[in-house]
Chains A and B, each alone.
Chain A
Amino acid sequence: MPEVSQVVRVVNVTKSFKLGKIEVQALKGVDLEIARGDYLSIMGPSGSGKSTLFNMIGGLDKPTSGKVFIDEVDIAQLDAYELAWLRCRKIGYIFQTFNIIQVMTALENVTLPMIFAGMNSEAAVQKGMMLLEQVGLADRHSHKPFELSGGQQQRVAIARALANDPAIILADEPTGNLDLNTGEEVIALLKRLSQERRVTVISATHDFKMLNVSDRVVWIRDGRVDKIENREELSISIGRIGVRG
């Protein structure tokens, strides 16, 4: 397979919703390229179109106009089966509320995407155990979600997101429901795994700890990309924000 350097390309994307009779334009023409292996954060106040853009990159929503390419595939062209396949194989999701499936053990949660992908049970269990080991929860594989702390649940979610070796991990406020220390641990884990496995991590976040490890930060404001900052420039502007706030 030829190496594609851009894993996500967003080309002139707009998105409008109908709220009652009023048409609201959430995105007003966004262009964005995300390189493979990047650790990228999307920042923006609520209502800025951040979540809309984020969902679009995750194949959860389709643009009104413009194109979104994930791994050079135009998601608007995909039917329901192909979209499901894309979610299963190319994208790993991490949620603010962890969303571990309550009725399944940690290991079953991790193996579920592999079963969807057509892997046989034995291989899935073996790889699931390996992934749980990597997130430091091998001894907890048979625990149900309610027996795990928030940080542990989020680590199970990370292992689950990595199950099918996705190209992208999409993390929606992954530290939003965690305390400071656990949040830091989760961020460090995400960063380490993304480097080891060369996975692109895209997160929507308000957490400055998250920005510190990001390669790039995309600021969204009023439906447009306000600015894109690399890490070097970042510490300065965060400092400024800190002063302002």
Chain B
Amino acid sequence: MQVRIFSDTLENSAREHRLVVLPFSKSVEIAYKSIRVRFFRALITTLSLVLAVSFLSFVDVSNDVANGMLASGKPGLRQDLIRSGYDLNPQDTNVASNPKQRWIIILSLLVCVVGIVNAQLMAVTERFREIGTMKCLGALDRFILRLFILEAGMQGLAGAAVGALIGTLFALAGGLARFGLAAVQLVAVADVAASLAGATAIGLLLSLLGVLYPAWVAARMQPVEAMRVEQ
């Protein structure tokens, strides 16, 4: 009896707008479970991102440390900075990342994106049957696209946050080792927080950028692929 009621309401709502749906909360749930089940795979995909983002935040926070020391106005600290390799002119009041540093960062981020594209394309190939099956069950292209982007977003956010944290910790530890307690005491917390947030945001962006093409490949897959038997 109850089943009849279900199918009646279904019939009515479907006749109105003949549209398949996947609520956003359900997409998030599926994407999350998908990462959890394939945790090791997700870890490898994210590892290059963790490394690149931690490098980025290491450089940023190192500069924050140096800036904190400069801002204190103590001449001894200024000498320490110059001695440890910072190119400071007498009139400089802050340390900005130099072009060479920036190039290395950009290069590492680029390599990281290529790595992500590669890993995600492989993930798509591995999941061809799953995607085809979902399409046979009625999934639209955009459901598949959304699932992949959500997965990449979650992986990206987690990976980038971990990477940024690691980089920050190393930069602070490095400052501590090179310049003593003063380095950590003088650094502006707001600057470090901004560097951390910036690195995380860039990491997330890169992860999303890296998944766009693979997700598009996945979404355009034909449902008939699910029928294919390969052995």
Would you call B21 an interface residue if the criterion is a C-beta within 8 Å of the partner chain's C-beta atoms?
A: yes
Q: A97 interface residue, CB < 8 Å from B?
A: yes
Interface 9-mer from B32-40, B102-110, B162-170: B32-40
Residues of A within 8 A of B222 (CB): 60
The smallest beta-carbon distance between A144 and chain B, in angstroms, is: 8
- CB of B129, distance to nearest CB on chain A (Å): 6
Q: Contacts A87-B137, A116-B138: A99 and B10 contacting too (C-beta < 8 A)?
A: no
Does A32 touch B at the CB level, under 8 Å?
Answer: no
Asked whether, in the complex, the Cβ of A164 is within 8 Å of the Cβ of B3, the reply is: no
CA A83 to CA B214, docked complex, whole Å: 24
Cross-chain contact B130 with A101 (CB below 8 angstroms): yes
**Does A85 contact B19, Cβ atoms closer than 8 Å?**
yes
Decide: A113 near B137, CB < 8 A? Known: A84-B20, A172-B227. Answer: yes
Query: Is A15 an interface position by the 8 A CB rule?
Result: no
Which residues of B110-158 have CB atoms within 8 Å of chain A's CB atoms? 129-130, 132-141, 143
Which positions 1-40 of chain B face chain A at CB distance < 8 Å? 2-3, 6-7, 10, 13-14, 18-23, 26, 30, 33-34, 37-38
Tell me whether A117 and B34 are in contact in the complex, defined as CB-CB below 8 angstroms, given that A85-B138, A95-B227 are known contacts. no
Interchain CB contact under 8 A, A97 and B22: no
Judge whether B14 and A117 touch: CB under 8 Å: yes
When the two chains form their complex, are residues B137 and A112 in contact, meaning their CB atoms are under 8 A apart?
yes
A80 touches B141 (CB 8 A): yes
Closest approach, in angstroms, between the C-beta of B64 and any C-beta of chain A?
Answer: 41
> Do B37 and A126 touch across chains, with their CB atoms under 8 A apart?
no
- Evaluate whether A160 and B137 lie within 8 angstroms (CB atoms) in the complex, with A99-B226, A102-B37, A119-B6 already known: yes
Residues of A within 8 A of B140 (CB): 80-81, 84
Chain A residues in 8 Å Cβ range of B138: 84-85, 87-89, 113, 116-117
- Are A85 and B21 also in contact (CB < 8 A) when A60-B227, A101-B134, A115-B26 are? no
Q: List residues of A whose CB falls within 8 A of some B CB.
A: 51, 55, 60-61, 80-82, 84-85, 87-89, 93, 95-97, 99, 101-104, 112-113, 115-119, 121, 123, 126-127, 130, 144, 160, 164-165, 172-173, 176
The 6 closest A-B CB pairs, nearest first, are: A88-B138, A103-B37, A99-B133, A116-B138, A60-B224, A93-B136
Interface residues of B (CB under 8 A from A): 2-3, 6-7, 10, 13-14, 18-23, 26, 30, 33-34, 37-38, 129-130, 132-141, 143, 222-224, 226-227, 229
